[in-house]
Amino acid sequence: MGHDLLKLPVCAATIEKCHVILKDKGLDLKHIITTDDASVYDTILHSFVGIAAIQVGIYFTLSPCMPC
């Protein structure tokens, strides 16, 4: 799902912004949402961050406003 959503420019830009912020916290968002390794979601933090980022990306893709 992450691979497909990153093809949408607004969603990709939103995920990139989230990725930059989370990188400082030691999380690789792009890896979390694009990996084929399901064991990444064995860590509850990765599950939460991945789901939340996808929701934010979809929100801004479908809404008339762009993220700041």
pLDDT in tens, 1-39: 778 889 999 999 999 999 999 999 999 999 999 999 999
Residue type, 7: K
What is the Cα–Cα distance from 67 to 59, expressed in whole angstroms? 10
Contact 1, 51 (CB under 8 A): no
Q: For the CA atoms of the chain, what is the radius of gyration?
A: 12
pLDDT at 64: 74
Tell me: pLDDT of 67 over 60.
Answer: no
pLDDT at 3: 83
Q: Does 19 map to a domain?
A: yes
Tell me: pLDDT of 53 over 80.
Answer: yes
pLDDT at 15: 95
Q: Does 67 map to a domain?
A: no
pTM: 0.83
- Tokens 């990765």, residue located: 46
Contact 2, 51 (CB under 8 A): no
Residue type, 34: T
* Domain limits for position 45: 2-62
Q: Does 12 map to a domain?
A: yes
